[in-house]
Structure 1
């Protein structure tokens, strides 16, 4: 994994080298300022010496700025590359490859995990090399001036830069992993609470859901405190080691009768020489977070892509008929068959209905028709062509899929209908709204078609939202309309409006999935599904 992470750095090695060199210069100049301050104190003060120190300080500040700028430039460039890879991967995985993934975990991976990887690129690579170079280089320089100072600095540097990172490193890594899992669960709970807020309110379960979220937040706080305590212990150990080493160095220099002109500059420069080495002490915590985040990001990037999305190349202009023969299906990595020997036929102009209880395989059948998952040859065909030979983008362009929960966007009614297609004029939009009986509602709004849906959050009922989604489906031409439980959450009036609009205005082929007998009144043919098996009902 480390090799894979470093592979992203190769195109940016010049910037990384610049960061390392300027970082070395900035840290070295701080030690030089402290050293010359000791020399000035022990000898005599002169204005040229002061100007020299001021110039060194300015140069050091410039070097520090360049080091930070170039280091973060490398990090942000790499993170932009990783984001592009992740988003492209999500596009390739959707929809089947994301069908079984938790929304909270996915949000964490594409959000905070990618951000956490910045720790490795901006705060690990350069500080690691900088600390090691300083540890060796300063030990040699101090040893040339006073061997005891060089020896003590080397021992202290090893304790801080190598010993402390190993201090409870496994425990810190475990706690960071536990913290990441809790944070992922919190995001999942919040995501579910927001999407299911209406159901939670109806069932008076808001307090219980909030209690579960609070419990997770409390667990997060406990684990965060445990991680903080471990880092606090490391911080105190580092301070104790520095103080003891400084005292021993001072005592050693005095006992060996080194002149004050050597002792004072060494003692003043000694603490400043540890700053790059101190950064190594925090690497165990930052590395465990960065590696944990990288592991989850790479796991997403390595997720196998559904085979069906790369199989077909044939284009399809209009779906005239659907034929399913002897279809058997079980989800990947599962042994239980969801569908067993399913056969049915639907033609242009027909409205077909599939009824059955929850978990009987209705939605699975729809996903297979839309080529979310690969199917065996000669099982599903459109216009006499095997499904796996048809390009999936061409297929999806001919299908409108209306789910139980309408997908509306935080934008105006116009944008929710047109999805950015500027070829639709206002008359097209008003006509389609008339077909689903939403004209009066929209005309009453202050901005009409340009009214943002956020303003209607408390006014738009479930039925009106579903009718708006249906209007969008009717507005965008297709030859196959799939309805997955479109009226299960609606009252009788809204159900009748939607079914009437479909019956009267949709000219293509319709397949409706439902568990309500009343919704099948508009269907020309009905199949009943039970335990994955389909039988014609009427």
Structure 2
């Protein structure tokens, strides 16, 4: 499967929990906008002092503190929902893997290395937590935040809004794609070596009796 097919396949697992995911995305956007609002209010206050304009420090301070509280609550709730979704989905995926292995039977698995199976059930599934908890909603949160901020800035200056959009696309899309392409082979090599490590550990555990019997401990450790 290509990368996009894999992503669509993984996203299909989220359908039963789509309302939780939508809420996590909404809270993430609110959290980001709260941080931006604090910066904007602070900048407005500094400009007001420089230009000698009337300013009510108490009012704006209360607003900034309120934004900080909203940021903290929204961020916590978003992270809680994302991890709740992720670990629920990991449990579902592991159940499907075990159900599939039971259907296949031992004869069908005879050509498979135990290291591959252990890696698939444990490490590979655990790695999906990053996708479900730290990839899906952050992408949509970034998209939603970009739409709001660029639209807001566009009300005052279209040119600045386009510059902001270009910068966010560069940082959020172009650079990650370049980094992925540069390190794709490193990830593949790591996966292959990790499977080999699991295989070596399983073989040594399974042959402990022979290792002790023939005094091969030091050799196996080396």
Q: Deviations over 1:154-211 (max 9, x none)?
A: 2211211111022142332221121011111101101111221232233343333223
Q: Deviations over 1:419-442 (max 9, x none)?
A: xxxxxxxxxxxxxxxxxxxxxxxx
User: 1:7 Cα shift?
Assistant: 1.2
Between the two structures, name the one with larger relative contact order (CA 8 Å, sep ≥ 6).
2
- How do 1:371-410 residues align onto structure 2 when only pairs under 5 Å count? none
Q: State which of 162, 173, 176 in structure 1 corresponds to 2:184.
A: 173
2:16 paired with 1:11: yes
Question: Which SS does the other structure have where 1:23 is aligned?
Answer: helix
Using the alignment, how far apart are the partners of 1:130 and 1:84 within structure 2? 30
Give the match for residue 120 of structure 1: 131
Give the match for residue 40 of structure 1: 45
Give the match for residue 24 of structure 1: 29
Q: State which of 103, 115, 129 in structure 1 corresponds to 2:114.
A: 103
Q: Deviations over 1:265-319 (max 9, x none)?
A: xxxxxxxxxxxxxxxxxxxxxxxxxxxxxxxxxxxxxxxxxxxxxxxxxxxxxxx
Q: Deviations over 1:209-265 (max 9, x none)?
A: 223xxxxxxxxxxxxxxxxxxxxxxxxxxxxxxxxxxxxxxxxxxxxxxxxxxxxxx
- How do 1:308-327 residues align onto structure 2 when only pairs under 5 Å count? none
Q: Which structure 1 residue ranges, 5 or more long, are not aligned?
A: 212-538
Q: Which structure 2 residue ranges, 5 or more long, are not aligned?
A: 1-5, 49-54
Q: State which of 135, 153, 164 in structure 1 corresponds to 2:175.
A: 164
User: 1:27 Cα shift?
Assistant: 0.4
Q: State which of 194, 212, 216 in structure 2 corresponds to 1:183.
A: 194
Question: Which SS does the other structure have where 2:124 is aligned?
Answer: helix
TM-score with structure 2 length normalisation? Answer: 0.88
Q: Say how many residue pairs are matched.
A: 211
Give the match for residue 473 of structure 1: none
Give the match for residue 66 of structure 1: 77
Using the alignment, how far apart are the partners of 1:118 and 1:166 within structure 2? 21
Using the alignment, how far apart are the partners of 1:142 and 1:28 within structure 2? 13
Using the alignment, how far apart are the partners of 1:208 and 1:169 within structure 2? 39
TM-score with structure 1 length normalisation? Answer: 0.38
Give the match for residue 87 of structure 1: 98
Using the alignment, how far apart are the partners of 2:104 and 2:218 within structure 1? 36
Q: Deviations over 1:89-135 (max 9, x none)?
A: 22222322222221111111100111111111111111111112222
User: 1:45 Cα shift?
Assistant: 4.7
- Alpha carbon RMSD of aligned pairs, Å? 1.7
- How do 1:347-496 residues align onto structure 2 when only pairs under 5 Å count? none
Give the match for residue 2 of structure 1: 7
Question: Which SS does the other structure have where 2:111 is aligned?
Answer: coil
Q: State which of 195, 201, 206 in structure 1 corresponds to 2:217.
A: 206
Structure with greater helix share of residues:
2
Contact 2:29 / 2:142 at 8 angstroms: preserved in 1? Answer: no
Question: Which SS does the other structure have where 1:95 is aligned?
Answer: helix
Structure with greater strand share of residues:
1
User: 1:62 Cα shift?
Assistant: 0.9
User: 1:58 Cα shift?
Assistant: 0.7
Using the alignment, how far apart are the partners of 2:180 and 2:62 within structure 1? 46
Using the alignment, how far apart are the partners of 1:21 and 1:130 within structure 2? 7
User: 1:39 Cα shift?
Assistant: 1.4
Using the alignment, how far apart are the partners of 1:169 and 1:64 within structure 2? 27
Question: Which SS does the other structure have where 2:112 is aligned?
Answer: coil
Using the alignment, how far apart are the partners of 2:136 and 2:46 within structure 1? 38
User: 1:42 Cα shift?
Assistant: 2.4
Using the alignment, how far apart are the partners of 1:68 and 1:101 within structure 2? 38
Using the alignment, how far apart are the partners of 2:181 and 2:159 within structure 1? 34
